[in-house]
Amino acid sequence: MESFISEHFNTLVCAWIALAVGTFILLQFVTAPFGRHSKTTWGPMIRNKYGWLLMELPSFIIILVSLLIGSQVNTVTWIIGGLWLLHYFNRTFIFPFRIKSGDKKMPLFITCSAIFFNLLNAGFNGYYLAELSTYTSEWLSSWKFMLGLPLFVLGFAVNFWSDEKLMNLRKPGETGYVIPRGGLFNYVSAPNLFGEIIEWTGFAILAWSLPAASFAIWTFANLVPRAVAHHKFYLQKFSDYPKERKAVFPFVY
């Protein structure tokens, strides 16, 4: 099995990218049932907190194990993989228990789909880092790392700040949806998703690998349609919603 993966690795990742393109096209017609778009018609439901924990856990574990046992792992590999682990430590062990979702639920189908995605996505990236990468200490001073790292950090900060803003929109005892304002929310409806797109684009540049690029493409394919769905929701929900706001990219879209 390992020899097959090694021999056909790039082909498998290219097929994975092709699936991302197909998913992006599909999501122009179907709204994924996340959060406010959840529907019981998608089958059994699971509490949001547990759904998030279960779906994100594979990404953290696979990269960690890959770094621990990989034959090509060195200090630079740990730095690059450590950035991944930073994101997914927050997403797996902190974010799910900070969201104020009460008893809200998500379809179990979405949780299982995300687990499948993360198994493959982290599997491709983990295998590359552990067995195929050839990073040396000089990589840390290359233009790729020097450009990608600030983008990753910026994206992480935007994503974290935006999530924090969304978690604290409602006052104690308040229910229902509220128009988010301030910062990047003055320009786009989903700066949290915008931040994540920047983050994984930065990672693709600093890691400069086909699997990292595939993750950036998948992030765009998944999150841009979700941001557009959020934007349409706000416009329909609030008659006074700022019309100048874009969905995900400031001043553009």
DSSP letter at 107? Answer: E
Give, as one character, the DSSP assignment of residue 102. Answer: T
pLDDT of residue 34: 63
pLDDT tier for residue 204 given thresholds of 50, 70 and 90: very high
Beta bridge partners of residue 45, listed in sequence order: 107
3-state secondary structure 154-187: HHHHHHHHHHHHHHCCCCCCCCCCCCCCCHHHHC
Q: What is the pLDDT of residue 64?
A: 98
Q: How far apart are CA 232 and CA 8, in angstroms?
A: 41
Q: Are 163 and 192 in contact (CB under 8 A)?
A: yes
Dihedral of alpha carbons 186, 190, 196, 198, sign: negative
Q: Dump pLDDT digits (tens) for 90-133.
A: 999 999 888 876 678 888 988 999 999 999 999 999 999 999 99
How much is the pLDDT for 100?
Answer: 73
pTM to 2 decimal places: 0.93
Distance CA 228, CA 232 (A): 6
- Please tell me the predicted confidence (pLDDT) of residue 30: 85
Q: How confident is the model at residue 39 (pLDDT cuts 50, 70, 90)?
A: low
- Among 82-91, 92-101, 186-195, name the one with the lowest average pLDDT: 92-101
Residue boundaries of the structural domains of the chain: 2-237
Tell me the per-residue pLDDT of 142-157, one tens digit each, with 9 for 90 and over: 999 999 999 999 999 9
pLDDT at 1: 62
